[in-house]
Amino acid sequence: MTSRATTPSRRRAALITACAVIAAAGGTAATLSTPAGAAAPGCTVDYKVTNQWSTGFGAAVTVTNTGDAVNGWKLEWSYAGNQRVTQGWNADITQSGAAVTAKSLSYNGTLATGASAGFGFNASYSGSNALPATFKLNGVTCNAGPTDPTDPTDPPDPTDPPGGRVDNPYAGAKVYVNPEWSAKAAAEPGGSRIAGQPTGVWLDRTAAIAGANGSMGLRAHLDEALRQKGAGELVVQLVIYNLPGRDCAALASNGELGPTEIDKYKTQYIDPIAAILADPKYAGLRIVNTVEIDSLPNLVTNVTPRPTATPNCDTMKANGNYIKGVGYALNKLGALPGVYNYVDAGHHGWLGWDDNFGASAELFKQAATAEGSSLAKVHGFIVNTANYSALKEDHFTIDDSVNGTSVRQSKWVDWNRYTDELSYAQAMRAKLVSLGFDSGLGMLIDTSRNGWGGTARPTAPGARTSVDTYVDGGRYDRRIHLGNWCNQSGAGLGERPRSAPAAGIDAYVWMKPPGESDGSSKAIPNDEGKGFDRMCDPTYTGNPRNNNNMSGALANAPVSGHWFSAQFQELMKNAHPAL
């Protein structure tokens, strides 16, 4: 694998889209000849350069069997130039010098007469990118000679499919509006003001892939995205959220898979998602995956010997299935063109302390290189997903002091290194780059519920009587404690989604759809594997994770992900910027 620094996504290179088909005279694909006395092999080979830039290209190859049935296949070709395959999918691709070999995998090796198998790859090159002249299938030489007149260095044709990753997928693109969320928002009084905003599509259980209880499945969303796309670029935001033993430190979003069911996660959840995203029909979409929120940080903060440790988090650290699951998802999904992986990196009120920050970054690197993945398959990170931390506190900084006492010593900051999500995201980005992630790493900040507007929003710093009056009087974030996370009272919509709002930030996003509950205020039976967490109970007096404060949660909330009208109305009322 090459680092992303050598790909167009990090160089902001203009993408050149080209299509080159290996074909015999008259426009048909090459046909295999049959040596005397052999079985009757035969095939057509379709080799397309799907996208090309100054230092590399992507290609798609389809082999169709026109002879006797084949049980296992091997396709071979050689390059005339210095092309080097760097990444492949749906075949075992190796290269020795100029010679390339693509072997079938366990699931696509059997080809009946007339059946096809396809695979793809990315490659680097310099100079010219000459097309392969000869193919061999299971040792039988194909007719030589590409006859398609397309020159892969020609300017792109407007009808060619877009290809390759760009530096910032949100730049110059529309973002998918989920029609199911939009309809719920529009049905609320005043909701039409924000019903057209883009939000994340949560794939929070296996059934969500096909569509559960009459809701849209992944294909339905992607088909609708194609309709919304039109002639421009469009981003679809997916939340990949179904790890075994999910949400080990809380109960409101426990998932369907037990702590040891990593194989189910791979084969019944990630693999079907990858198969859909690999459909050429959706090649023109930019797919942003936010990968497994609230997972990896738990392995730092909520394990023994921390006072916040839980038995479930100790189990997940011991069995390694969070690391394996995230690594597998990154590897499988990151191999697909047009897919951008952003890993969840918590928020400043979780990982901003010295003993959490560096350890979390190291853990992110471990997961990004697990299960065959690599740092190059991580396009960026997302912070504050489904949380409430203020985007930017304007009335105090981490370097301020009152009467000689640092802001870090205030009860609210409590020795944290950061006061808000923007400063945390930019610092975490710098730390990750220092550990070997690409220098062009992009960050997303979920601003769906961190506006903290309305009449209670401070307009000036607090009184300098003490460091606590100074911070508490001026802070926008009005939670009782930074550790409170469930359906927070007084919260408001934050900055509207937009691209490239600050240095190192790819976009502000609404990954958590406003109006969807974080968890139920009391135990509610359901078939979604979602439990009851006391942090969602407004009468709860807290635990070590919120320093034994009240939960600050709204009453009468439904189970997580279900529509919560009262919260939606409060979010609109307290929006900042105001609606």
* DSSP state string for 495-550: SPPEEEEETTEEEEE--SPTTB-SS-SS----SS-----GGG-TT----GGGTT--
Q: Tell me which DSSP letter residue 480 carries.
A: S
Residue 68 annotated to the active site: no
173: helix, strand or coil: strand
Distance CA 314, CA 310 (A): 6
Distance CA 558, CA 260 (A): 29
Element spanning 224, H or E: helix 218-229
Q: Looking at 294, 344, 477, 537, which residue is catalytic?
A: 294
Choose among 418, 419, 412, 446: nearest CA to 431: 418
301: helix, strand or coil: helix
Residue 446 annotated to the active site: no
Distance CA 80, CA 46 (A): 19
Instruction: Please report the sign of the dihedral spanned by the C-alpha atoms of residue 367, residue 373, residue 374, residue 376.
Output: negative
Element spanning 44, H or E: strand 43-52
User: In sequence order, which residues have a C-beta less than 8 Å from that of residue 422 and are 6 or more positions away?
Assistant: 391, 392, 445, 502, 505
Distance CA 429, CA 23 (A): 47
The distance from CA 521 to its chain's CA centroid, rounded to whole angstroms, is: 29
Edge-to-edge strands of the sheet including 43-52?
30-31, 43-52, 56-65, 116-124, 84-89
Q: Which residues pair with 77 in a beta bridge?
A: 100, 135
Contact between 466 and 472 under an 8 Å Cβ cutoff? The reply is no
353-361 contact pairs (CB < 8 A, 24+): 353/415, 353/416, 353/417, 354/415, 354/417, 356/297, 356/300, 356/301, 357/417, 357/427, 357/428, 357/431, 358/431, 359/300, 360/296, 360/297, 360/300, 361/428, 361/431, 361/432, 361/435
Q: Looking at 204, 344, 468, 518, which residue is catalytic?
A: 518
Q: Tell me which DSSP letter residue 335 carries.
A: T
Distance CA 183, CA 61 (A): 41
Distance CA 247, CA 481 (A): 20
Q: Where are the alpha helices (DSSP H) in 385-481?
A: 421-434, 467-474
Three-state SS across 342-356? Answer: EEECCCHHHHCCHHH
User: In sequence order, which residues have a C-beta less than 8 Å from that of residue 489 and are 6 or more positions away?
Assistant: 538, 552, 553, 554, 570
Read off the tokens for 369.
Answer: 């290189």
Annotated active-site positions, please? Answer: 294, 518
